[in-house]
Amino acid sequence: MSSDTPTQGAELDQDEGRTRTVLEWIVTIAIAIGIAGLIHVFVGEPFIVPTGSMLNTIQLDDRIWGEKVSYRFREPQQGEVIMFDNPNGEGTILVKRVIATQGQTVDLVDGRVVVDGEELDEPYTENRPSLPLDQTLPGKDPVTYPFKVPEGCVWVMGDNRTNSLDSRYFGAVPTKTVVARALFTFWPFSDLRWF
């Protein structure tokens, strides 16, 4: 005959129920963190735009969603807005527009961008001139024009051409340093825009 009274049995059942509930919550939270981590690494993540180099397409401090799936299957394309590792080695992410891809030749003529002999139609620059920069990334040779984009690289420029350190400053960007493609601006809501 058991010495447990009905009250003690009920208390044990409650303890087991609480333990089960706590374990279920721990497992649920662990799964949620795991899924969030996988999304962050393989699918996409939010980025904050730290400078005004993409004005007025993207505003300073806008939050944009970058997707990471496309570039697992293809290279960045001309006209896409991308996020990539800063070539200066600071560990930051930059946001710029792809102007030319590997094998294409970029030239800056009278304030206009010419790719493979054709002047680009770039309404996003709001007619700001695209001029060579006098400065270069320390340790890099100055960029000379016309410039042929090396294999495995893209030429990027900020839409705010008069206030952007881009490929005119640091040269072509290796595609292996591209981390995402901009899909849309999501914050603030007033700046909502799809790319």
Ordered per-residue pLDDT tens for the chain, 195 residues: 445 555 665 665 777 778 888 888 888 887 777 666 666 666 689 999 888 999 999 999 999 999 999 998 999 999 999 999 999 888 899 999 999 999 999 999 999 999 999 999 999 999 999 999 988 888 888 999 999 999 999 999 999 999 999 999 999 999 999 999 999 999 988 888 888
Question: How far, in Å, CA of 82 to CA of 49, rounded?
Answer: 12
Choosing from 53, 130, 164, 167, the catalytic residue is: 53
DSSP code, position 188: S
53 included as an active-site residue = yes
Give the CA distances from residue 162 to residues 5, 67, 131, 145, 158, in Å, rounded to whole numbers and listed in that order: 83, 28, 8, 18, 9
Fold of 49-194: Umud Fragment, subunit A (2.10.109)
96 included as an active-site residue = yes
What residue segments make up the domains of the chain, in order of their start? 1-45, 49-194
What is the pTM assigned to this prediction? Answer: 0.80
Phi first, then psi: give them for residue 160, nearest 5 degrees.
Answer: -85, 75
Choosing from 68, 96, 164, 167, the catalytic residue is: 96
